[in-house]
Chains A and B, each alone.
Chain A
Amino acid sequence: MELLEQIKERYLDRLSPATFRSRLFWKTVEGLALSPLNRPHWKADRVSLAYFIRATRDAYLRRAPVVWCNLLVPSELVLGTGCIPFYPEMAAAVVASAGLAPRFIDHAAEEEFPSDACSYHRCMLGCAMEGFLPEPDLLLAVNYPCDSAPLSFGFASDLYGAPQFVLDVPLPGREDGMNLLAGQMAEAARTMAGLCGRTEREMMEGLSEAVELSNRALGHLRRVEEMRKRDDCTLDGDEAMGNVSVLAGCMGSPAGEEFYRLLAEELRERGSRGDSSLRIMWMHLKPWYSQAIFHLLREHGARLVCEEYTHATWEAMDPRDPLGSLAAKVGGHFLVGPVERRASHLVRLAEEYRVDGAIHYNHWGCRQSCGGAPLVKKALQRVGVPTLIIDGDCVDDREYQEGQVSTRLEAFLESLR
């Protein structure tokens, strides 16, 4: 039985905000994670699970200042200052995986957050209003990939009485843009270091160390990417998509390095799969509450060989200039700026991973991904990659039309044969 199911079975009915603030709860969770009952498909998953359990426990038990971050906030920046990064969007995905999202989304609706907004954020706000999330000492958002985080963090900032900081990432190619961003990051870092009682020197040392750890993880991630390009790679996208949490939240920690090292090693060891599946690229994220799409893909001899968000999008950083390097990492992300950058990233992936087709999962309420989907599709079609756009929702299973999705997916896969 999966760990999550174990936790669900033992605790779900008795969940309360106090549960997450109990040492006993976390001891039990850690015990379950280490138990033989928990058999992850990949050794690396044990590392990331242990890391996230520890970090989340420490956030609830307030063992260090907690900083809420959205997906593009580099974890190195927060870890390097001694704070605990907490990613509420990832928490929403976990809540959805546990089948609990509708309850919190409904709570948010009662507070007049309507269904037209992103369900990651509605779920997160519902959890926050019920007291289920660790209280932030600071909320730090990057103004990309979407408007939702700076805006929903604004509400949470009022709710908790904690300050909000928004990093305004400049448009690509702007003169002095990276210096301006590095300056904002320095200000955010000083605020976080101040929360931890660290001096400027200690802060810079912490950031350099985090950047060094991140660089080592990046080296292993590059190896993983090279192996995933092979025909016989055994890591499929439905599993790999979960690694977006590692890419966003573990970089700059020893766990990030260890995770990608183990993954690369195991990919090498597992060797050949040798099938002739259709090679599919997945765009945006997946429905976290259901594996039905992926079963269907497998039934039709198709597998996901690459995904939009799980790849390295930056170069090795300079530990002597951690803030400048982190600015370049964030500022150079393909989701910053016009959609043509995102389209170029996806065209490159499609070519490097030799895909036969691509699927764009339109998460309802996501203006950045749905909004750009027609143009991404055009860009992929220009290089001969047939593309299917499916409307759905990553978090709210009530918005997932299984029959409709299956029909469209089957027709698409047939057309690729």
Chain B
Amino acid sequence: MGDDRIAWFCAYAPVELLLAAGLEPVRYFGDPSRIDDADALLHPAICPYVRACLAQAMQGSGPHHAVFVNSCDGMRRLYDAWKELFPEDFVFLLDLPRNAGKAGERVLAGEYRQLLAALRTFRGREITRDDLAAACREREELRRSYLRLAGEASGAARLRLAQSFQSPPGSAEGGGAAACAHPVAKAGREIPVLLTGNLLNPAGMVSLLEKAGARVVWADLCNGDRAFAASTLAEGESVEEIIGGLAAAYLERPPCARMLDAERRCRILAENARQAGASAVVYASLKFCDSYLYDFPRTRERLRREGIPVLRLESDYADGHAGQVLTRVEAFLEMIS
């Protein structure tokens, strides 16, 4: 019997289409402790999340059917390595325009059409308007459940909760509300911060922030709140209408730094920081992520103009060397408190 599970990696993956095809989408978070296992296929100067995912797959843990988004060089290279490792599995690369707006929506809707066609062939069945509508409703309910549960959670617990909502409840990755039950030793005082970046390890950098006295009230990360911040609920009378709506909704969500409209991204960041009562922004990203490497200097300038202090941190995903980072965070919090 075939595996109904399908892996996804990037927050721009249209999980609704996978659900509509009767698949069980599982988001990979990789194995940060085995990153070097990926060396044979991926250079060490590639995103550690990407390498951790490949390492996890090489261990045989997690599904091998997979949908990749062509969102960055790292993801495209992961797709290449995956195809090499698992040539018999369903492996699809979905394009993602940098331009939003009508032109971008048209391109993305075309990509969804391609993915649907590939899924139909793979599953040997039609994917109807009703399948898609039901999948969209399911995702929206899940998003609302997360926001309800995450209301009071912060830091690592919030991030774990977000991760658990990105995979089915029964899977190793999906843990639902139980994911909150990982206590982190906290400092005596807590300063609310907004955390922004790509994808961080809840057991690593995020726990460290808490330990230093930061309370992460909004995690603008692609494994955190960003995926739940805006609805992707699309409605329509036909498959075409729904995928058009989905394309628009995905491009409307708070953007990753790889998208073209940096001004909009900064505006959303500043608004979220104010709404969440954050005193500062911690800009933390994984090494070798070009999208965030190049974005930081101008985002910092924009946030400073808004009067928001910014701290830059970098993570190798395993986050084994904590001492220096802890000192920097403590000094920063001291400065803004």
Contacts and interface: CB of A to CB of B under 8 A. Distances in A.
Given A166-B98, A166-B260, A364 B45 contact: yes
Given A154-B262, A371-B42, A338 B76 contact: yes
Interface in A363-417: 364-365, 367-368, 370-375, 378
Nearest to B312: A112
A370 B84 contact: no
A148 B294 CA distance: 8
A95 to B, nearest CB: 19
Contacts, number: 130
Contact of A339 (B77, B95, B294, B312): B77
A339 B291 CA distance: 20
Contacts of A6: none
B74 A371 contact: yes
Interface in A79-105: none
B90 interface: no
Interface stretch (B99-107, B122-130, B227-235): B99-107
Contact of A375 (B47, B70, B84, B114): B84
Contacts of B79: 338
Interface in B294-310: 294-298, 300-301
Interface stretch (A16-24, A170-178, A219-227): A170-178
Given A111-B297, A112-B297, A147-B290, A372 B107 contact: no
A26 to B, nearest CB: 32
Contacts of B42: 371, 374
Interface string A328-372: 000000000111100000000000000000000010110110111
B4 interface: no
B106 to A, nearest CB: 7
B43 A151 contact: no
Interface string B21-45: 0000000000000000000111101
B63 interface: no
Nearest to A143: B98
B241 interface: no
Interface string B68-86: 0010111011011101100
B317 to A, nearest CB: 14
Contact of B73 (A166, A337, A340, A367): A367
Contact of B98 (A117, A168, A368, A372): A168
A52 interface: no
B314 to A, nearest CB: 8
Given A155-B298, A166-B99, A174-B95, A116 B260 contact: no
A350 to B, nearest CB: 19
B260 A367 contact: no
B286 to A, nearest CB: 10
A48 to B, nearest CB: 30
Interface string A106-146: 00000111101110010000000000000000000001001
B197 to A, nearest CB: 14
Nearest to B262: A154
Q: Which 6 A-B pairs have the closest CB atoms?
A: A367-B73, A151-B294, A371-B77, A370-B43, A339-B80, A168-B97
Given A151-B258, A370-B46, 18 more contacts: A113-B294, A114-B314, A143-B98, A147-B291, A148-B290, A151-B291, A151-B293, A158-B262, A166-B99, A168-B98, A175-B110, A368-B73, A370-B43, A370-B45, A371-B73, A371-B76, A371-B77, A371-B80
Interface of A: 111-114, 116-118, 121, 143, 146-148, 150-152, 154-155, 158, 164, 166, 168, 170-171, 174-176, 180, 183-184, 337-340, 362, 364-365, 367-368, 370-375, 378
